[in-house]
Amino acid sequence: MSPFDHEPPQWALKFLRFYCKPRALEIIEGDAYELFYKRIENEGLKTARKRFSWDVLKFFRLRYIKGLEDIETLNNIIMVKNYIKISFRSLVKQRFYSLINIGGLAIGLAACLLIAMYVSHELSYDKYHDGADRIYRLNGNSPARLAIQSKTDIPEIEETLRIQGPFDQTFKVGDKVFKETNGFNADSTFHKIFTVDFIEGNPEEALTEPNAMVLSQTLANKLFGYESAVGKTIQVDGENTLVTGVVADPPQNTHWKYNFINSYPKESWVLVGNWTANNFKTYAKIEKGSEPEVVQEKLKELAAEYQGPLIAKYSGHASYEDYLASGGRERNFGMIPMTAIHLEYPDFSFGSGGDINNVYVFSAIAIFILIIACINFMNLSTARSAMRSKEVGMRKVLGSRRRQLINQFLVESMMVSLFSMVLALGLSALLLNGFNLLANRTFNFQDLFDGVVLLQLFGLVLIVGLLAGSYPAFVLSNFKPVKALKGDATQGGKGSAILRKGLVAFQFAISIFLIVSTTVVFQQLKFLSNQKLGFDASQVMVVKNANSLDQKRETFKTRLAQFPSVENVSMSNSYISGGMSDWTYQTMEDNPRSYGFINLFVTDTYLETMGLNLTEGRNFTNQLVTDTANVLINEAAKRWLGGDKVIGQKLTRGDGEDYTVIGVVNDFNFESLKRDVEPMILRMMGKDGRLEEDWYSANYISIRISDNYLETVGRVEDLWKETVSDEPFEYIFLDESFNALYENEQRFGKLFSASSGLAIIIACLGLFALAAFTLERRYKEIAVRKVLGASVKSITLMILKSFTQLVVLGAIVAIPVGYMVMQDWLQEFAYQISLNNPLIWVIPALFVAIIAWLTVSFQSVRTATANPIKALRSE
């Protein structure tokens, strides 16, 4: 059989004929056939066919593909090159406008990039855990037995976990002492709820035994210097604890950031505990496919079963049903999706510092700034391109099609936005540290130059370029060539002038709004810091960890009191601004009422140390043993109790003991001024810090200092080190700690001032360029006015007037909006400034107006003083 009877693969031949240029086709086919026949003889039919296909595929090169020689296509590539070249030239020719355009847009994009990074980070919290959408937190705090009981009683619950913390604990490794923060207690199931990466140790057995702990990698490295930590022993607060695991540091985007996790000391911690004492954070993971609503309903039944009887007993009702019928609050263990904790339940998030409002505010600001920058871009592009109507006319006369003109302008605006993007990347890298301070996060360059964020930015840039370029592109390309050449079209039309002015007014509106917000935030903060707190926070130092003084408490206190600059010393179980717990007390009336009073244990000198006054009754005294059964209340508590005679009135905790009110203290703000003064009960602890038999609770020592602060702090520290050698000395000043409560608000204020600054800068850049442009066009008109006798002053005023109108228009829009938004923000505070102060509104508007005048006046004066001959002679 002759090789010529065979045929090569038809698909390959078809493909070749499909793509190949006709000129080369026959030769290529010929060579391919010739090789094919030869190979049939030498290598067999199969290989020959394979290699024929391969050869044909290899011929698929630019050189042989048909259609590429098509003149139209090549011309397009050349045209694109030409667009880019012309765009570049026109950008360079109008350097000033281009710079302002690119610079303004770059600032806006940089702000957007940073904020986009922040927002996507905030939204990513806790999403990475396996089955994150099935994990719930049951209430903020819950009873010890809830976890195991719910897992037993409710089949839909797959796994539960209890956490307590965060704690600060003292670690002793060898003879080195470390004070470690962010420690937690957790059940051994923690790795089944949270996705945890074990580096050493067995996750299943890590926390099953008492006195075991898991360390984060950073902490393990710090304590054991990069050696294996598992199996080593640490003295934690004096107790020997075995390290049973090392886990990778929890990522940034989880609300539970731990340095170490302790196991629970005793198995009984699961099985005992009061059903109404909420000391644990309970997490539950429900089975795949089960309905959260069903589980929620079952949890409610659980609450009724276990909490119900107790509540009925405490409140003096015959049954839980009676309690509910008389208007009592129904108990339930609310299921909070874990992914919502960070942003929507900041109080439950172990201080991860998230806030959904921050996300909204940041996003709104990003959008505002971007809008301002885009308006500039559009305004300037439109204004500038109107100058180019002659160019457009000429192009049209020479045969340019409308599409090509549109392309030309689009390419130009794309180039501007691409340049801005590059600049924005540099800017945002520079601003990253400042932004971290504002956002209270620790972003690094890797987060900033993350692929997804960059891709989003690129998309944004394309959209901005397209939007900003489309108006001039479509309007200009519509010009009639004759008109355009005659110069009729250079006026740009009344419509576009109104549009431009409207946009500028809108920019001013945003700027004024932001400045008004800044003013209100800072005014409010100033107001809060000037507010009378009801106690004297200055000069009070609080020493922490006083419980570690143990038996030496009294000697420590006595020796402190001997320092000449120490006026007064007292002890308490928590401190003002440090957060206090509420305890429920009940009146001993015929119809008992109960309330969760803020409860504070103090020594007899506390009122003096804090500068509190008694308005009625008497203070505690150590001379009377019975005073442990007596309490002081504040005026808010007196109001709650009602009646004039509160001294001698009795309260009970329902445990058989009762407490007699012996005095009333003036109201003082022991929490941030966001909250009103709540009813409070002060109870006495002995001078040795003892509450009851074996119950010591003097955690903090407050010291009032008269002078020589630094020296006194030094002496207190020396005394501390002398007394307890293995516990670090920690202290705060009360006024500083109180001010730190407004950290979030202060950051808010800074954010607003930074963003309003940015907004003003961008808006002014735009205004400056627009003014220059407008004046250039009115050059001749102004010259004529001058020739006819107008003074420099009147011309300058005329120009300023037209811009002032825009500011006024902006203010009219901004002020009502600002009023509403700020009114809303102030609702958070129990103590607010009044927004009806006209200064808050007039000053920002005036400020913006002055900046606008300064921006415009330089150019207007220059135009007004110019020699009119120069303008008139040019034609």
Partner 1 sequence: MQRINIGEFEELVLLVVAILHDNAYGISVMEEIERQTHRKINISAVHSALDRLEGKGFLNSSVGGATKARGGRRKRYFKITVAGQKSLDYIKAQRNSLHDQIPKLSLEYVSI
Q: Does 59 bind partner 1 (CB under 8 A)?
A: yes
Residue number with CB closer to partner 1 (28 or 123): 28
Q: Does 55 bind partner 1 (CB under 8 A)?
A: yes
DSSP state of 277: -
In this structure, the number of other CB atoms found within 10 A of the CB of residue 789 comes to 7
Asked whether 382 and 472 are in contact (CB, 8 A), the reply is yes
Which range in 22-30, 126-134, 230-238, 427-435 contacts partner 1 by CB under 8 A? Answer: 22-30
Q: How far is the CB of 4 from partner 1 (least distance, A)?
A: 6
Residue number with CB closer to partner 1 (29 or 249): 29
Asked whether 260 and 215 are in contact (CB, 8 A), the reply is yes
Long-range contacts of 368-371 (CB under 8 A, 24+ apart): 368/510, 368/514, 368/755, 368/759, 369/107, 369/108, 369/111, 369/112, 369/755, 369/758, 369/759, 369/762, 370/108, 370/109, 370/111, 370/112, 370/460, 370/464, 371/506, 371/510
Residue number with CB closer to partner 1 (59 or 118): 59
Q: Does 63 bind partner 1 (CB under 8 A)?
A: yes
Instruction: Indicate which single residue of 17, 27, 316, 455 sits in contact with partner 1 (rule: CB under 8 A).
Output: 27
Instruction: Indicate which single residue of 32, 295, 416, 612 sits in contact with partner 1 (rule: CB under 8 A).
Output: 32
Q: How far is the CB of 71 from partner 1 (least distance, A)?
A: 18
Q: How far is the CB of 79 from partner 1 (least distance, A)?
A: 25
DSSP state of 704: E
Residue number with CB closer to partner 1 (41 or 305): 41
Which range in 61-69, 81-89, 130-138, 385-393 contacts partner 1 by CB under 8 A? Answer: 61-69
Q: How far is the CB of 29 from partner 1 (least distance, A)?
A: 5
- Please state whether 642 falls in left (phi above 0), alpha (psi between -120 and 50) or beta: left
Residue number with CB closer to partner 1 (59 or 670): 59
Peptide bond into 166 cis (omega under 30): yes
Q: How far is the CB of 7 from partner 1 (least distance, A)?
A: 9
Q: How far is the CB of 51 from partner 1 (least distance, A)?
A: 10
Q: Does 69 bind partner 1 (CB under 8 A)?
A: no
The contact pattern for partner 1, residues 132-171, with x = CB under 8 A and - = no contact, is: ----------------------------------------
Residue number with CB closer to partner 1 (54 or 695): 54
Q: How far is the CB of 27 from partner 1 (least distance, A)?
A: 5
Asked whether 698 and 546 are in contact (CB, 8 A), the reply is yes
Q: Does 561 bind partner 1 (CB under 8 A)?
A: no
Handedness of CA 504, 506, 508, 510 (dihedral sign): negative
Q: How far is the CB of 8 from partner 1 (least distance, A)?
A: 9
Where do the H-state alpha helices sit in 251-350?
268-271, 292-306, 308-315, 320-325, 338-344
Phi, psi for 302 (deg, rounded to 5): -60, -45
- The whole-angstrom separation of Cα 726 and Cα 179 is 10
Tokens of 863: 């135009």
Instruction: Indicate which single residue of 17, 34, 197, 596 sits in contact with partner 1 (rule: CB under 8 A).
Output: 34
Cα Rg of the chain (Å, integer): 38
Residue number with CB closer to partner 1 (64 or 583): 64
Q: Does 22 bind partner 1 (CB under 8 A)?
A: no
Phi, psi for 559 (deg, rounded to 5): -70, -35
Instruction: Indicate which single residue of 19, 35, 210, 287 sits in contact with partner 1 (rule: CB under 8 A).
Output: 35
Q: Does 740 bind partner 1 (CB under 8 A)?
A: no
- The whole-angstrom separation of Cα 187 and Cα 508 is 57
Helix/strand/coil for 177: strand
Instruction: Indicate which single residue of 14, 30, 46, 870 sits in contact with partner 1 (rule: CB under 8 A).
Output: 30
Instruction: Indicate which single residue of 26, 322, 707, 711 sits in contact with partner 1 (rule: CB under 8 A).
Output: 26
Tokens of 465: 């370029």
Tokens of 532: 């009378």
Residue number with CB closer to partner 1 (68 or 430): 68
Which range in 28-36, 39-47, 168-176, 279-287 contacts partner 1 by CB under 8 A? Answer: 28-36
Instruction: Indicate which single residue of 58, 93, 95, 873 sits in contact with partner 1 (rule: CB under 8 A).
Output: 58
Q: Does 43 bind partner 1 (CB under 8 A)?
A: no
Residue number with CB closer to partner 1 (54 or 360): 54
Q: How far is the CB of 91 from partner 1 (least distance, A)?
A: 36
Which range in 52-60, 747-755, 777-785, 822-830 contacts partner 1 by CB under 8 A? Answer: 52-60
Q: Does 123 bind partner 1 (CB under 8 A)?
A: no
Residue number with CB closer to partner 1 (31 or 692): 31
In this structure, the number of other CB atoms found within 10 A of the CB of residue 204 comes to 12
Residue number with CB closer to partner 1 (4 or 458): 4
Q: Does 452 bind partner 1 (CB under 8 A)?
A: no
Burial class (CB in 10 A: 0-12, 13-18, 19+), 725: exposed
- The whole-angstrom separation of Cα 461 and Cα 470 is 14
Distances (CA, A) of 406 to 243, 465, 485: 70, 13, 18
Tokens of 117: 């990074």
Q: How far is the CB of 107 from partner 1 (least distance, A)?
A: 49
The partner residues of 601 in beta bridges, in order of sequence, read 683
175-214 residues near partner 1, rule: CB under 8 A: none
Q: Does 41 bind partner 1 (CB under 8 A)?
A: no
Q: How far is the CB of 23 from partner 1 (least distance, A)?
A: 10
Q: Does 15 bind partner 1 (CB under 8 A)?
A: no
Which range in 58-66, 386-394, 598-606, 641-649 contacts partner 1 by CB under 8 A? Answer: 58-66
CA angle at 613 for the pair 611 and 618, rounded to the nearest 5°: 125
Asked whether 91 and 415 are in contact (CB, 8 A), the reply is yes
Residue number with CB closer to partner 1 (28 or 356): 28
Asked whether 782 and 871 are in contact (CB, 8 A), the reply is yes
Instruction: Indicate which single residue of 11, 14, 17, 31 sits in contact with partner 1 (rule: CB under 8 A).
Output: 31
Q: How far is the CB of 21 from partner 1 (least distance, A)?
A: 11
Q: How far is the CB of 78 from partner 1 (least distance, A)?
A: 20
Q: How far is the CB of 61 from partner 1 (least distance, A)?
A: 6
Q: How far is the CB of 13 from partner 1 (least distance, A)?
A: 10
Helices 743-777 and 356-386: crossing angle in degrees, nearest 10, is 10
Q: Does 743 bind partner 1 (CB under 8 A)?
A: no
- The whole-angstrom separation of Cα 726 and Cα 238 is 10
Handedness of CA 813, 816, 819, 821 (dihedral sign): negative
The contact pattern for partner 1, residues 360-389, with x = CB under 8 A and - = no contact, is: ------------------------------
CA proximity to 647, closest of 636, 662, 633: 662
Number of residues that bind partner 1 (CB under 8 A): 20
Kind of pairing between the strands at 680-684 and 594-602 = parallel
Burial of 137-173, coded b for 16+ CB within 10 Å and e otherwise, reads: bbbeebbbbbbbbbbeebebbbbbbbbbbbebbbbbb
Residue number with CB closer to partner 1 (54 or 128): 54
Q: How far is the CB of 342 from partner 1 (least distance, A)?
A: 60
Q: Does 29 bind partner 1 (CB under 8 A)?
A: yes
Burial of 329-347, coded b for 16+ CB within 10 Å and e otherwise, reads: eebbbebbbbbbbbbebbe
User: By the criterion CB under 8 A, which residues form the site for partner 1?
Assistant: 4, 24, 26-35, 37, 54-55, 58-59, 61, 63-64
